[in-house]
Structure 1
């Protein structure tokens, strides 16, 4: 609506007052001292908390402190404020403690996202604000108290909301706190103990929902999660760099982000996709368990412990009974320690029968004695995950024993190393091996659990990788995000029920099909591939028609046409992504350099900065750009086993326009 001068001036004054109050809050936090701590450790911890508090209160001039306002209705419940401004963080007047802006995560702020004519939730008016460069420039009012059957039943789409969704972007991902939709808000505010799984079509905001859920949970369960931790797991470093600015903008600076490689260890070797898929099968957990416990051997002799002039003897069958009673009932490392203690306890029983009166200290001494250590090492040797996996993958007979009844001969041959390394120390471990090593590590020593785990692009993880993540939220909960249609790995999931089972979590699956980011014409074009890659999924829809957003052209020369398309895209505001087959990236980079067009190349470890990026197709997942140019779809589809799924990912990265250039015929599924 047109901005009334007096109303706009009043709202600007409230913004100025709020910014001044936030500045005073930050100055107060910066002036606090950690000298009150009782010791050096406490002081260091307190200083860290104060630094985080100061960082969380930073005011970003280009980011509005509030984006909405709610006015109370006549039938409201007592205790609600007459007027409520909703923003990214809480701001209060330092002198009076009067709230000037309420945090969007506060329970009362839920009404801003959920209230409507059918259920106004006690409020009569919702106001949205428009900003440019941090300056408040416009507002829109939406009446909420007309009733479900009155003239307020239907309202036109918010122009301010639409402009915010479509606003061109450069650099990292922005938060969507001002544009969260009701169905997204329900996911964001789900209770902490609940594991939530989101099947989200391209442009539905599933990644943003997961990030805002992290911010919401940290706000609501601050004490608990500050101890147990929150971790976000993304597919690669470029993706994590892209989302890195969202949580700090919401005032959360303590959330860890990692790739699966960061958690399990970076791979040092490569192998065919079929081999990785075989190693990623959930049945490998049984194979690894058997392989580990096969190292517990029958004792060859009994145990003799000398204390002074007395000799105390356990027969070999007694040692065998003790080992058998522990075998497989606990983790390997704990069982090994318990084995030594139980041997020592039996010796103490013999000592007591001889009239001695040993205590616990004597039992510990016996457990650490040379004879006990020798028998423990003989029966229950100390092992590392690398030793066990090396033997499993390099010794055909051992692999056959460990996988009996689990893997057939063909599957055993697939994972057996054709040319084993000389030792476990020189082995080249692949990404699939890293998940197996993590499984073995947990069988030996327990993996610590976090309070909450957020996993994005979860459909691309193997069963063994999911088990590794599940251990890290074994006593907590998870938010699982992804799209089965965008599964591009050899082990990509076919159902979310399987994903949750491998994680060891009971969760609800919510499907988001209404897109806000990708134009409708672009989404419809990409959806031609769905019957071939994920026929069970509902066809996604977009709120934005996107007339003129799609341009598909056959060209006589791909590289010159690409350069021309890039120049045209750069003449328009916003970011530009040139997505190309991985093998053709160098040729496109050379063409841009020859044309004198500044650009950057997205790599696995790069942060993806720059207005124009050349993006290998395998790195495009999870990213988005205002203008996307896709070069040679057929080559992208032909480059890997699930190439059509990769192409679906590539075609759905555009927010404003998509240009598809091809010399070769389009894939049949796309041309239909």
Structure 2
């Protein structure tokens, strides 16, 4: 194992590296001052000036130095393999952004640059032109240590830097550093297999099955940063979106992309994605307010992919059959388009596969064209302006409105869920009678405006909206915890990347919704990305061995055949099982929290929502400060101790986790398998230590 060189009184190597850091900081300040001095008002026009001003503002912000960290975290001594032995060795410092001197020579290479790939992937077996890799220890923005790995030494021994993830003390210290506040980037600790996924081509849709602590979320976020760096012009125009399971998760990851210099990535939960509230420019007819909830079996039914066909038929069922001719007065004459000819136009438009509203707009033009042909046959010479005038005329507009009415998604879905006969007609055998009865509202709202839409209804509304008008596609979508999405929700996400690509992240062992598809093949098919690359991450960097081994006892029950993750950390972590009585449960939790707060780092107390009030009262009485996560209690302040509802814990991480009454957590779900999967999620949130406090017996799979 290469031993780190810690800070001595005088170390010429460390002094040299500190001098390079000081020079890089000075040059970054120069670059920022230079960008700030540019005058956007000298642009050729006001519009260009505004665009240039916004670009310069982003540039200045991106060049801001963060004194709490260093500009670089590693160095490689690199010789271009393509240039042969004559090539000179270059010292390349790898960091979060590019820094150059006045002559344009690089002092720091952006981690996303192609040459930086060697820092992450070079090995003694395949050195990629690297003779030495150096990692730096950092404390409060200063270099405190360095660790060298020789890749050109014969034999590939420890001295040569053999590929041993646990062999780097600096790397291990960074991975195990206490957590506080939002999630950090992992740019200095990316592993070779993670780097390969981060740098997958923009046209490739990647699906990452990752056990807890394998870094799948971080890989997805760093992939977004790499894509924006490598395909800036394309993705700045098309857009990049991150979809997460809840707002607590989005708050947790909110600092990662800005720390990497990317602030223009949109974030949404599946609900805010489908109701449009994550964007300020969403049309009003695509924004729906959730005010209701479905029972689990109804939500499962509404999440079924069969609704795509039902909604498509419901939208197009509003197109009528012409029973009278169109009559258009023009000049002294009246021109007729017979009903049979109109029917042929309708049939042709319906067969084209375009959206309802697009075909509706074509209808007016097609009717006007039929009148134009009659004008030409009568000896007139009309042009396109005449056709447009006819299409906009009152008789044509009234005829189209009656035959092909304008629709909105809320009206279509309201009719489906309020009118049993209409649902039966549109179901066309896709639903059995019992399912049709379950889907229809027991007390239908009188109007679409009074409908109490449920979260499951959002996917139906989004499907209907897309049938009426095409949903705009983004360049790339990253969806985390994708294993929990229903088929209809996945279709909604897929529409947002129909002409782009996706990065899909999740763990089938952590599927905690009854409507989950159950396999990545099914998930990706519903997403519309059946051609995808699947990668499984099993090397755990976040969860220590003692914790992951305990939680993995659930895997044979919740995900048969799925391999158990392996922690690669040298520190096995702490596991403490605390059995107490029902009357002393809150006191036992308080004692566990008090013990957990004696060391630095975040503490998460996870329990069913009903138990958190008692825990909050006990902590308040003990004088222990805390925050609460969740829609009703979330705030923007950082707290060392957070009370977390079990349903909100997914995707979060804490240094020390206290799980309260695991049997209650499992029992709170609609079935045993889902309950144990929820428990698996909760148990694997710990980075350093896990305490399980219980009065009830622990679920049987965990007692073996």
Alignment match of 2:630 (pick from 592, 597, 603): 603
Question: Would you say 1:520 and 2:528 are equivalent positions?
Answer: no
Q: Give me the whole-angstrom Cα distance separating, in 2, the residues matched to 1:153 and 1:620.
A: 38
Counterpart in the other structure of 1:616: 645
* Residues 465-493 of structure 1 deviation map (CA, whole Å, 9 limit, x = unaligned): 11111111111111111111111112123
Alignment match of 1:366 (pick from 377, 380, 390): 390
Query: Residue 35 of structure 1: SS of its match in structure 2?
Result: helix
Question: Would you say 1:587 and 2:614 are equivalent positions?
Answer: yes
Are the structure 2 counterparts of residues 367 and 87 from structure 1 closer, same or farther at C-alpha, using a change threshold of 3 Å? Answer: same
Q: Give me the whole-angstrom Cα distance separating, in 2, the residues matched to 1:495 and 1:74.
A: 43
5+ residue gaps in structure 1? none
Question: Would you say 1:143 and 2:153 are equivalent positions?
Answer: no
Query: Residue 40 of structure 2: SS of its match in structure 1?
Result: coil
Counterpart in the other structure of 1:191: 201
> Could you tell me how far 1:546 is from its partner in structure 2?
4.4
Alignment match of 2:605 (pick from 575, 578, 600): 578
Question: Would you say 1:68 and 2:102 are equivalent positions?
Answer: no
> Could you tell me how far 1:39 is from its partner in structure 2?
2.0
Query: Residue 406 of structure 1: SS of its match in structure 2?
Result: coil
Are the structure 2 counterparts of residues 309 and 632 from structure 1 closer, same or farther at C-alpha, using a change threshold of 3 Å? Answer: same
Query: Residue 373 of structure 1: SS of its match in structure 2?
Result: helix
Alignment match of 2:100 (pick from 89, 92, 98): 92
Q: Give me the whole-angstrom Cα distance separating, in 1, the residues matched to 2:337 and 2:568.
A: 77
Counterparts of 1:279-298 in structure 2, within 5 Å, are: 279-298=302-321
- Range moving further from structure 2, 15-24 or 139-148: 139-148
* Residues 251-294 of structure 1 deviation map (CA, whole Å, 9 limit, x = unaligned): 11211111122221152211112111111111110000011111
Counterpart in the other structure of 2:378: 354
Alignment match of 1:160 (pick from 170, 175, 178): 170
Contact 1:235 1:259 in 2 (8 A): yes
Counterpart in the other structure of 1:315: 338
> Could you tell me how far 1:146 is from its partner in structure 2?
2.4
5+ residue gaps in structure 2? 276-288
Counterpart in the other structure of 1:303: 326
> Could you tell me how far 1:97 is from its partner in structure 2?
1.4
Q: Give me the whole-angstrom Cα distance separating, in 2, the residues matched to 1:234 and 1:65.
A: 30
Question: Would you say 1:248 and 2:258 are equivalent positions?
Answer: yes
Query: Residue 177 of structure 1: SS of its match in structure 2?
Result: coil
Contact 2:123 2:163 in 1 (8 A): no
> Could you tell me how far 1:170 is from its partner in structure 2?
0.7
Give TM-score, length-normalised by structure 2: 0.93
Counterpart in the other structure of 1:625: 654
Counterpart in the other structure of 2:5: 2
Q: Give me the whole-angstrom Cα distance separating, in 1, the residues matched to 2:391 and 2:337.
A: 14
Counterpart in the other structure of 1:434: 458
Q: Give me the whole-angstrom Cα distance separating, in 2, the residues matched to 1:443 and 1:609.
A: 43
Q: Give me the whole-angstrom Cα distance separating, in 1, the residues matched to 2:470 and 2:438.
A: 30
Contact 2:69 2:139 in 1 (8 A): no
Counterpart in the other structure of 1:178: 188
> Could you tell me how far 1:67 is from its partner in structure 2?
0.7
* Residues 646-665 of structure 1 deviation map (CA, whole Å, 9 limit, x = unaligned): 11110000000000000001
Alignment match of 1:541 (pick from 554, 558, 566): 566
- Structural RMSD (CA): 1.6
> Could you tell me how far 1:609 is from its partner in structure 2?
2.2
Counterpart in the other structure of 2:525: 501
Contact 1:521 1:545 in 2 (8 A): no
Question: Would you say 1:121 and 2:128 are equivalent positions?
Answer: yes
Q: Give me the whole-angstrom Cα distance separating, in 2, the residues matched to 1:389 and 1:548.
A: 52
Alignment match of 1:388 (pick from 375, 395, 412): 412
* Residues 389-445 of structure 1 deviation map (CA, whole Å, 9 limit, x = unaligned): 111111111100100121111221221111100111111111111111111111111
